[in-house]
Structure 1
């Protein structure tokens, strides 16, 4: 008897959506990795700035 024809459509749709998901995850991962690097640089700059300032006498 075999599988109904619409099962093949489901399989193709599932494969396409799985591939799109993978591509979207790669895009998001690259975006957030770039953002993390940018924030790490900002933190380093702020730490340098703090290190140069005198500690106030309280």
Structure 2
């Protein structure tokens, strides 16, 4: 198993979509909103990853 994490094609397209949205946005309120969405997604992913790791290791909190 490889130690590197590879994005799926769908994830790559989603990242490109966000990059283009950020590049096209000049309104500070829109940029703030996008940043908050990205922060929410990042923290949700971290929580999900932690949960999966705990489930695989047999820990129950």
Coarse TM-score class (shorter-chain normalised):
0.5 to 0.7
The structure carrying a bigger helix percent of its residues is 1
Q: Which runs of 5+ in 1 are unaligned?
A: 39-58
Paired residues, what number? 34
Q: Larger Cα Rg: Structure 1 or Structure 2?
A: 1
Structure 2: where are the runs of 5+ without partners? 1-25
Which stretches of structure 1, 4 residues or more, deviate above 6 A after TM superposition?
Answer: none
RMSD: 1.7
**Which structure is higher in RCO with an 8 Å CA cutoff and minimum separation 6?**
2
